[in-house]
Amino acid sequence: MSYDSNNIMVILSSPSGAGKTTITKKIQQKYQSFKISVSHTTRKPRPNEVDGVDYHFVSHEKFKKYINDGKFYEYAKIFDNYYGTSKESVDESIKKSDIIFDIDWQGTQQLSKFKNLKLIKIYLIPPNKEELKERLTKRNQDSPDEVERRYKAYDKDIQHWKDYDYIIINQNLENCYKQIENIISINKNKLSIFSQTTQ
């Protein structure tokens, strides 16, 4: 992947249930310049999810074929399903937009290997574990077993905070969103100054 534009790539990761999907959507609504990277997944759609908007929902067979064809920049197995970021759509989007990725720590590690990418890596954490449990249960999108599995994954997931540039505690959605806006704005300005001074 190579590109010359001043567009940035923001990775937003968190333990499941920490609120990143809401924030990702809010950023896209406010900033016309941002495109959400729509991942491929073998997970079944939740009732409110739309194919091609929330994810590209594909079978295990298709996903494995895509892996073999080298279609992904990164992919990971999470909670028994595969999730991956398509090269083609990222390469196309970055020519004209900033991109926001809602991916996990495994995907973040893989994307970080592309040293030419202007990645801004943000890790969102819930204020405490109890709050996480409440959010996972309240959002009412997964079965009780799945909620339990996601809750249990927290301890392992949180160990990867060190791979990120910024850590934000999602105590309050609005504050959290403002912090992310500041991070985006600082990094966009930095990039713009840098490109002016190197022209």
The tokens describing 50, both together, are 């739309």
Provide the minimum distance between the beta carbon of 103 and ligand 5GP in the complex, in angstroms, as a whole number.
Answer: 4
Of the candidate residues 107, 154, 170, 184, the single one contacting ligand 5GP (CB under 6 A): 107
Of the candidate residues 9, 103, 119, 136, the single one contacting ligand 5GP (CB under 6 A): 103
For residue 91, CA distances in Å to 35, 87, 94, 178 come to: 12, 6, 6, 28
For the segment 135-194, give every residue that binds ligand 5GP (CB under 6 A): none
- Closer residue to ligand 5GP (CB): 4 or 145: 145
The tokens describing 65, both together, are 């074929």
Assess 83 for contact with ligand 5GP (CB under 6 A): yes
Stretch that binds ligand 5GP, among 22-30, 75-83, 129-137, 181-189 (CB under 6 A): 75-83
What is the distance, to the nearest Å, from the Cα of residue 155 to the centroid of all Cα atoms in its chain? 19
Assess 73 for contact with ligand 5GP (CB under 6 A): no
Provide the minimum distance between the beta carbon of 189 and ligand 5GP in the complex, in angstroms, as a whole number.
Answer: 27
80 φψ region: left (φ > 0), alpha (ψ -120 to 50), beta (else)? left
Q: What is the DSSP string of the chain?
A: ----SS--EEEEE-STTSSHHHHHHHHHHH-TTEEE---EE-SPPPTT--BTTTBEE--HHHHHHHHHTT-EEEEEEETTEEEEEEHHHHHHHTTTSEEEEE--HHHHHHHHT-TTS-EEEEEEE-SSHHHHHHHHHHT--S-HHHHHHHHHHHHHHHGGGGG-SEEEE-SSHHHHHHHHHHHHHHHHHHHHHHHHHT-
Of the candidate residues 10, 24, 84, 120, the single one contacting ligand 5GP (CB under 6 A): 84
Of the candidate residues 24, 85, 93, 170, the single one contacting ligand 5GP (CB under 6 A): 85
Size of the site for ligand 5GP (CB under 6 A): 14
Assess 39 for contact with ligand 5GP (CB under 6 A): yes
- Closer residue to ligand 5GP (CB): 78 or 180: 78
- Closer residue to ligand 5GP (CB): 94 or 188: 94
- Closer residue to ligand 5GP (CB): 7 or 85: 85
Q: Which residues bind ligand 5GP (CB under 6 A)?
A: 16, 39, 43, 74, 76, 78, 83-85, 102-104, 106-107
